[in-house]
Amino acid sequence: MELLDGRKLSQKIESELKAEIETLKSKHDVVPGLAVILVGDDPASRAYVKMKESACERVGLYSIVHKMPVTISQDEILNTITMMNENPYLDGILVQLPLPPQIDKDSLLEAIKKEKDVDGFHPYNMGRLVMGMDSFVPCTPLGVMELLAEYKIDVKGLNAVVVGASNIVGKPMASLLLNAGATVDICHIYTKDLKAHTLNADLVIVGVGRPDLITADMIKEGAIVIDIGINKVGDRLVGDVSFDTVAPKTSYITPVPGGVGPMTIAMLLKNTVTAAKARRC
């Protein structure tokens, strides 16, 4: 069993991006900029946004966090997005999810200029991803693909199972795997026999937010296991996989923390630099 070390790879990517950002600044007078909209005071969202902000600082990206109260109206957020769309110094716009219930998230995500959609959640970019065309790709699934590539894991012909069918993780993850030649099952809350799917899989990718959802009896000997879950159990962070018992059966597995999490942030930085180069260089 080998650990897929997302922390190490994200540090390598960050140092490459830092050098690239220095060149963008000296050669083109461009400092890529990221705007984050944070609504309400959900502790997890605040923590994620803080991590994104610190990462921007580490690599030399300009970033702003626009905080809004939980009672905010749809129109007020929409106006903010419109302003950010027009701001030439902002290359990426990210609306931190989830949003409060009075807000229609889909119409906000669709209001973001597609050239600034560094989260890859705009239907234009999602559609292009499904079609295998060049697009902004959601950061978590993109980070998983980078991690697999770093360890020279070719998914072509593998039986892959994606557990979780969200727009931000499961669906784009499945599209990326399919585009790369894997045979993909997508499992979700209504799946009848999850174990029947996972036991047949060479590659299991899970991100639903349930500790111990994936246990050793569900995993084929030698499978690759990617854990996207982040759950707080007491004061410990754990994924969706029972790591201690599953890990010995796998060929590769991601730890939590230190697996996919840091890759997500690195991909956000990368998408923002890509957006800046496309718009301003």
Residues 251-280 that bind ligand GUN (CB under 6 A): 264
Catalytic-role residue among 91, 119, 185, 227: 119
Q: Report the nearest approach of ligand GUN to the CB of residue 207 (Å).
A: 10
Q: Does 63 bind ligand GUN (CB under 6 A)?
A: no
Respond yes or no: is residue 52 known to be catalytic. yes
Long-range CB contact pairs, 43-52, < 8 A, 24+: 45/96, 45/97, 45/98, 48/96, 49/96, 51/265, 52/94, 52/265, 52/268
Nearest approach, Cβ of residue 30 and ligand GUN (Å): 24
Which is nearer to ligand GUN, 95 or 269 (by Cβ)?
95
Residue number closest to ligand GUN, CB atom: 97
In the region spanning residues 109 to 128, those forming contacts with ligand GUN, defined by CB under 6 A, are 119
Exactly one of 21, 38, 93, 94 binds ligand GUN (CB under 6 A); that residue is 94
Instruction: Tell me which residues in 157-196 interact with ligand GUN (CB under 6 A).
Output: 168
Catalytic residue list contains 96: yes
Question: Which is the catalytic residue, given 91, 96, 113, 116?
Answer: 96
How far from 13 is each of 52, 263, 274, CA to CA, in Å? Answer: 15, 9, 13
Shortest CB 221 distance to ligand GUN, Å? 32
Question: Could you say which of 80, 125, 140, 271 contacts ligand GUN (CB under 6 A)?
Answer: 140
Active site residues: 52, 96, 119
Applying CB under 6 A, the residues found at the interface with ligand GUN are 94-97, 119, 139-140, 168, 264
